[in-house]
Each structure stands twice: as structure tokens, then as C-alpha cells.
Amino acid sequence: MTTSSALDSFLDKWRTRWPEWSVAEPFVPEAQRTLVVAWFTLLQEFDDILNTSGDPMPADAKLAWWGEELRSWAGQRSRHPLGRLLEPVRAPWTALADALPDLIEARAAALEPAQAFKALQPYAAAVAAVEAVMFYTPVRGDVATPVLVQTLAQRLNAAGVAAVPRSLLAAGEGDAAQRWAQQLLARWPARVPGPRARRMYASLARTRLQASAQGRELKVTPMRTLLRTWWAGRG
């Protein structure tokens, strides 16, 4: 497989998981579109490692490899196909690499919701710091919390009840996963600060979480997606 086809394979994997993005993407400046998808593809790699089940050793080894890879980007020496697009950005890659081990700790079920948030705070802050540089966006307001909540929401979607804090499971009142989704929504405003691409991606992810919180099937139409992401992208 050539480097170009390997890169396309990674990008297509993310697009397949987020087909709504094809409707939202025209609101992203054309020069940034491939970069945006590459960045979100990288974050999806980290989400998959966070949400792995069964033997964690392969995922942990992969995470360690990514830490080395991100540090090499700081010196403009990439090995992964995604590095072709992301490495030229002079972002704080080393700080993100330093935060990756938090994903291993966060994989264990939290005792309380506050613990779930605390475990991923440094990682979310590192992600937000990279985005501020990548998309030339001055940091205004709390840009890390939306990243944090979205990471937890996508963990709930991928891992199900294994991602729910144990205190909610012990309460035994209704669907614990649904109640956790509702708590995440309470911390996740419909419009978040940060770069346009993040605001639009958050809007799509929040819509999925809303369906889970309400115990209903997700219904997505191009028109709804168009209006939602246009509104989110306006800032």
C-alpha cells in the first residue's frame, strides 16, 4: 500500500463513522478540509484506544507508539501517514504525547462522575491547545471542557455501560447509561467555544448524545445537519 492510499484509508475510516460530515464540510475553509479530517481521524485513533475491550496490551502498546510518533513530529520526523498532513503544523505535539497515558487510567470505570471528568482533563486541555494552533484560533473561554465532554460521550457510545460511573450503576433508578448521557449533556452547551471545525464536530456529536439521553433512535437528515452545523459554525 502506498503512503497516499494508506492516508486515504485512515481518512475514509473516520468519514465512514461520521457520514454527516459530508454535509457540514462545505462550511470549513477549503484549504483546511483535509487537515480537519486528518486531525479528527487522529483523535478517533485515541478514542479507539481509550475504548478498547478485552486484553489492553495491544492498545497500550499502540498508545506508546503514538506518544513516540507525536514527539517526532516536534522534530519534523513523522512515520505515520497522518503525519504528512499534521506534522507541518507547529502545534504542541509533545504536550499531547505527555497526556496520552491518561487514556489508560480513564479506561477503568470511574467511581463517580467527577472522577471521570478529572481523569481526562489534561488530555482534553492538550487537544484544545493543539486545535488553537492548528486552526489559528485565539483561546477564548473554556475550550477544553467541550473536548472533554465529547470524549466521554463518544466513550459512552462505544463502550456502553462500561463507561458509566459506578455510582450511577449502583443507584438503580432507570437506565444508568441514559442518566450518564443526561449528565454529560448538562455540561455540554449546544454551542461551544473554539475553532469552527470543533464547534461543528461537537454539534454532530452532541446530537448523537441527545438521542441516547432521550432513549430514542438517532434520526439524521441532510437538512437538519446543514442547519445545525451552519448555526454551530457561525460562532
pTM score: 0.94
DSSP assignment letter at 56? -
CA distance 199 to 141: 13
Count how many residues are written for the chain. Answer: 235
The residues near 115 (Cβ < 8 Å, ≥ 6 apart) are: 165
- Region 45-61: mean pLDDT is 94
Q: What pLDDT was estimated at residue 221?
A: 85
**What is the per-residue pLDDT across 180-196, written as a single tens digit (0 to 9) for each?**
999 999 999 989 999 99
CATH of domain 3-233: 1.10.600.10
**What is the per-residue pLDDT across 95-134, written as a single tens digit (0 to 9) for each?**
999 999 999 999 998 999 999 999 999 999 999 999 999 9
Unique residue bearing C-alpha cell 486545535: 131
Domain ranges of the chain: 3-233
The residues near 158 (Cβ < 8 Å, ≥ 6 apart) are: 47, 48, 51
Cell of 231: 448555526
Q: What pLDDT was estimated at residue 30?
A: 94
CA distance 196 to 33: 11
Q: What pLDDT was estimated at residue 2?
A: 52
CA distance 123 to 110: 16
Helix, strand, coil content of the chain in percent (nearest 5)? 70, 0, 30
CA distance 207 to 150: 11
